[in-house]
């Protein structure tokens, strides 16, 4: 399954569950991705226990999956080509110089 196919499936599920019945605020949706990152940080701080909802996976794995789900749902709703952009950016990054920009992190 490609990223584009996963994006379509995630967005269709969100639409079927009523999350796109009214226009979504871009800022709100972007910040909801940040809240999932914060949940991943909390999982890390708590020793990254097993997820209660998806047995066999850690809470950090679950929360990072939530980040991807929110991102691809948003992209689906906005008609963004994340699959293409991801591949283009990966190719671009492969040819950037060592530690480009000279920053320490």
Residues near Mg ion, by CB under 5 A: 36, 39, 63, 66
Q: Which residue is nearest to Mg ion (CB)?
A: 66
Minimum CB distance to Mg ion smaller for 61 or for 66: 66
Q: List the beta strands (DSSP E) in the chain.
A: none
Minimum CB distance to Mg ion smaller for 38 or for 85: 38
Supply 36's token pair: 């999932």
Which burial class, exposed, middle or buried, applies to 29 when counting CB atoms under 10 A from its CB (0-12, 13-18, 19+)? Answer: middle
Residue whose C-alpha is closest to residue 28's, from 80, 70, 61: 70
Minimum CB distance to Mg ion smaller for 54 or for 78: 54
CA dihedral 13, 17, 22, 28 (to 10 degrees): -70
Question: Least Å distance between CB 39 and Mg ion?
Answer: 5
Question: Least Å distance between CB 90 and Mg ion?
Answer: 26
Minimum CB distance to Mg ion smaller for 54 or for 85: 54
Question: Least Å distance between CB 43 and Mg ion?
Answer: 9
């Amino acid at each position: 399954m490609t990223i584009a196919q996963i994006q379509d499936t995630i967005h269709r599920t969100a639409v079927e569950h009523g999350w796109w019945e009214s226009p979504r605020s871009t800022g709100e949706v972007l910040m909801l991705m940040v809240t999932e990152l914060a949940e991943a940080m909390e999982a890390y701080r708590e020793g990254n226990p097993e997820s209660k909802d998806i047995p066999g996976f850690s809470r950090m794995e679950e929360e990072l999956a939530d980040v991807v789900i929110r991102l691809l749902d948003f992209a689906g709703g906005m008609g963004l080509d994340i699959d293409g952009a991801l591949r283009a950016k990966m190719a671009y990054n492969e040819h950037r110089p060592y530690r480009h920009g000279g920053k320490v992190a």
